[in-house]
Structure 1
Amino acid sequence: MPNLKTSISVLFFIMCLTLQAQVSYFPERNTAWETKSPADVKINAERLFDAIKFAEANEYSGSRDLRIAILKGFAREPFHEILGPTKKRGGPAGLILKDGYLIAKWGDTKRVDMTFSVTKSFLSTVTGLAVDKGLIANETDFAKDYVWDGTFNGEHNSKITWQHLLQQNSDWSGEIWGGKDWADRPPREGDLDDWKNREYKEPGTHMEYNDVRVNVLAYSALQVWRKPLPKVLKDEIMDKIGATTTWRWFGYDNAWTTIDGLQMKSVTGGGHSGAGLFISAEDMARFGLLFLNNGKWKNEQVISEDWINRAITPSKPNVNYGYMWWLNKKGPRHWKNVSEDIYYAAGFGGNFIIIDKKTNIVVVTRWLEPSKIEEFMQKLTKAL
């Protein structure tokens, strides 16, 4: 029988963890974010400002004209072109929340910019809401049972589940909105024809980062929601967390489909051919704060905690990837000397939403040279 003193100690530890995960403050819409000084929350101010100076000094090296940055960044892709809206970006910006309070910010945090693959974590969440509401019975269901138009026909594609799409290990084969799956991020070495005609991996066994397949998920989610995904995001999440009216979620110019007799735009899960989510750092921070608080905003459970737990569970092919959230586990994408409980959304050009449950911190950085994010987080960890 366990020692009473030991049992009380364990209970106290569990209570501390529970309290640690709670958010003390939620910002109201269209009001100034309430601040606290680093000293108020027991953070080393000198080290905190050192981390911020580092972020400001290490701006993403690509052009501020993102049309140029995109074309240069994906120049090796056959048939690559801009298919949706782009926008010139601002400079380095970001903010840090502790227990919901703003403790630091730099740059223009209200500026609306492209956010590239950070969009994927929003897409994952909209798909999760479809599961929460029973529009999808379970993410392990076959996608073909919900989308009957040929998207998931064939011996290979018929095996694909929603989970495979969310974890980017479906190896879906095909073309959507002019994008061919094999042309997206081809290997740097070898013959392109061999890649085009390669043998496909069994769904669930091999992760491949591929925006064409992510756009298949967005299209499939549109089929079950039966209304544009930006409308779903607005009604179900962004309005509830007090986001501004400035964000937009775009699709490619030609990405139209008919549902219930109405023309609807299918959005993208990224921006490497243009489009995706255009949003401010402050609205990104609100989204991160929702996840820090286990899907609850004030007294409303906006997203189920169960879904969030599944979304940040490592996939079998990649320990660093869940349902379109990156996980700081020990693996190929591990940030050393930084908490392994961290998970984050990441996008081209150094856009990040980082959730640290251990310290009750949300970090948003924009236009930080991507190779510098690990060092930035190491500096921030020292401040904490």
Structure 2
Amino acid sequence: MVRKLTLENYLPPAADSWLRCQPASLGLNAARLHHAVEFACQHESNWLYDLSEQKAIAGSEPPPWNEILGPLKPRGGPAGLIIRHGQIVTSWGDIERVDPTFSATKSYIGLCAAVAYRDGLIKNFDDQVSEYNGFKEFSSDHNNAITWRHLLQQTSEWEGTLWSKPDQVDRNRQVGPSADDSQKGQPRQLTEPGGYWEYNDVRVNLAALCLTRLFEASLSDVLRKNIMDPIDASHSWEWHGYRNSHIEIKGRSVQSVSGGAHWGGGLWISSLDHARMGLLISRHGRWGNVEILPEHCLDPLFAPCPLNLNYGFLWWLNSNRSLFAGAGESSVFAYGAGANYVWIDPDYDLVVVVRWIDAGSMNDFTALVMDSIVRP
């Protein structure tokens, strides 16, 4: 898990008043840092600006799997910021622009799971999900064995259809270094729950649905109340689901949000608000003198999955520096296609947000940022 910091823990007091400092005052070489920013701007994603034309991730899928169910909006250009010791040392692009963040949304579902654990709604991550209010999606013998840990580590092997999308659409889907995604959507014999790691957006949406039922509220409301408002984030971010993802809770219609923009929807958020969330993680769940998420609730999010050491509870890790060799091993990432990253390296007290960078260039970008740190 990320470590506690020993340096001065500056926190921005409000969404529009974040302290900016010269790189040299925080142990960074300004020229090298500028080179890293130039690199990010010069290696922009090749994705279309009109994401309705890009059709998110679904564009390569056969009908009817490729049907877009949630809202999409045009993306902005390259943007981001680099924070050290809680203070902004540089930024580029429009860091207040609210953009889709694709699967970086998943890490916010992980935070909602940590809130559920904090509040006792999840008693043990190794409990079977079917034990909680008898969720009908887990009624089969196979699905009945699925635990919260399986859902959050993406090893559940859940079988079924949710919001008109069958789990098969993402069977064999792999994401990460040297991932072979050529068999995505092809039939595969399922293993027992917990026996196979697969990047499956249908199952992540199922995790969001299960948490929505636990809280009896939209995860958008849960995130706002428990995370974003306490860290003084703006009110500009939005979390969308699909047109067919509404459920009834105590007579109310509640939308179950999606874990990304695969079929539209997902979290739309500014780089500044992403950075506040990253700073909360780097502060080990504390915001000043206020404990928002206790250590024992955050720790599981960053414990490596045995089947994929670079994955925790919907967060990416850098075990043995095998995700990004340019970044430190203590780094953790919220990562979304496009590509969108929130990179947190507690050993160096860094929080970096980078939007719309070519995914294949991210490792070189991390190396350039690390090279800007002045070592004693």
* TM bucket, shorter chain: over 0.9
Counterparts of residues 251-330 of structure 1 (less than 5 Å)? 251-330=241-320
Shift of 1:71: 5.0
CA distance in 1, matches of 2:126, 2:189: 24
Contact 1:328–1:340 (CA<8 Å) still a contact in 2? yes
Match of 1:379 in 2: 368
CA distance in 1, matches of 2:52, 2:172: 21
Secondary structure at the residue paired with 2:141?
A: coil
CA distance in 1, matches of 2:270, 2:341: 12
Aligned in 2, Cα 1:190/1:59: closer, same or farther, shift over 3 Å? closer
Does structure 1 residue 126 correspond to structure 2 residue 108? no
Residues 174-200 of structure 1, C-alpha deviation per residue, up to 9 Å, x if partnerless? 0111111001265665796xx43x321
Does structure 1 residue 48 correspond to structure 2 residue 33? yes
Aligned in 2, Cα 1:56/1:43: closer, same or farther, shift over 3 Å? same
CA distance in 2, matches of 1:212, 1:336: 30
Aligned in 2, Cα 1:244/1:53: closer, same or farther, shift over 3 Å? same
Residues 253-306 of structure 1, C-alpha deviation per residue, up to 9 Å, x if partnerless? 111111111111000011110000000000000000000000000111111112
Contact 1:23–1:360 (CA<8 Å) still a contact in 2? no
CA distance in 2, matches of 1:73, 1:199: 23
Letter in 1 for 2:345: D
Shift of 1:87: 0.5
Contact 1:77–1:186 (CA<8 Å) still a contact in 2? no
Letter in 1 for 2:198: E
Aligned in 2, Cα 1:133/1:156: closer, same or farther, shift over 3 Å? same
The structure with the largest alpha-carbon Rg is: 1
Aligned in 2, Cα 1:36/1:177: closer, same or farther, shift over 3 Å? same
Counterparts of residues 301-380 of structure 1 (less than 5 Å)? 301-330=291-320, 333-380=322-369
| Correspondent of 1:140 among 126, 132, 151 | 126
Letter in 2 for 1:113: D
Unpaired stretches in structure 1, ≥5 consecutive residues: 1-16
| Correspondent of 1:167 among 150, 153, 156 | 153
Secondary structure at the residue paired with 1:61?
A: coil
Secondary structure at the residue paired with 1:358?
A: helix
Among all aligned residue pairs of Structure 1 and Structure 2, give the percentage whose two residues are the same amino acid. 38
Does structure 1 residue 95 correspond to structure 2 residue 95? no
CA distance in 1, matches of 2:58, 2:212: 29
Shift of 1:330: 2.8
Aligned in 2, Cα 1:77/1:382: closer, same or farther, shift over 3 Å? farther
Match of 1:11 in 2: none
Contact 1:74–1:272 (CA<8 Å) still a contact in 2? no
Secondary structure at the residue paired with 2:239?
A: strand
TM-score normalised by the chain length of structure 2: 0.93
Does structure 1 residue 57 correspond to structure 2 residue 31? no
Report which stretch shifted further, 53-62 or 76-85. Answer: 76-85
Counterparts of residues 181-220 of structure 1 (less than 5 Å)? 181-184=167-170, 195-196=186-187, 198-220=188-210
Counterparts of residues 68-87 of structure 1 (less than 5 Å)? 68-70=53-55, 74-78=59-63, 79-87=65-73
Secondary structure at the residue paired with 1:117?
A: helix
Shift of 1:206: 1.2
CA distance in 1, matches of 2:183, 2:126: 34
CA distance in 1, matches of 2:367, 2:133: 44
| Structure 1 runs, 4 residues or longer, greater than 6 Å off | none
Residues 71-106 of structure 1, C-alpha deviation per residue, up to 9 Å, x if partnerless? 576413552111001010110000011111000100
CA distance in 2, matches of 1:349, 1:240: 29
Secondary structure at the residue paired with 1:330?
A: helix
Shift of 1:214: 0.2
Aligned in 2, Cα 1:201/1:77: closer, same or farther, shift over 3 Å? farther
CA distance in 2, matches of 1:60, 1:199: 35
Q: Report the aligned-residue RMSD.
A: 1.7
Secondary structure at the residue paired with 2:280?
A: helix
Does structure 1 residue 113 correspond to structure 2 residue 108? no
Aligned in 2, Cα 1:158/1:23: closer, same or farther, shift over 3 Å? farther
In the alignment of these two chains, the number of paired residues is 363
Residues 44-82 of structure 1, C-alpha deviation per residue, up to 9 Å, x if partnerless? 111111000000001100101112223576413552111
TM-score normalised by the chain length of structure 1: 0.91
Secondary structure at the residue paired with 1:86?
A: coil
CA distance in 1, matches of 2:286, 2:28: 26
Letter in 1 for 2:52: R
Contact 1:257–1:266 (CA<8 Å) still a contact in 2? yes
Contact 1:71–1:81 (CA<8 Å) still a contact in 2? no
Residues 331-383 of structure 1, C-alpha deviation per residue, up to 9 Å, x if partnerless? 7x521242111010000101000110110000000000111110000111111
Contact 2:68–2:264 (CA<8 Å) still a contact in 1? yes
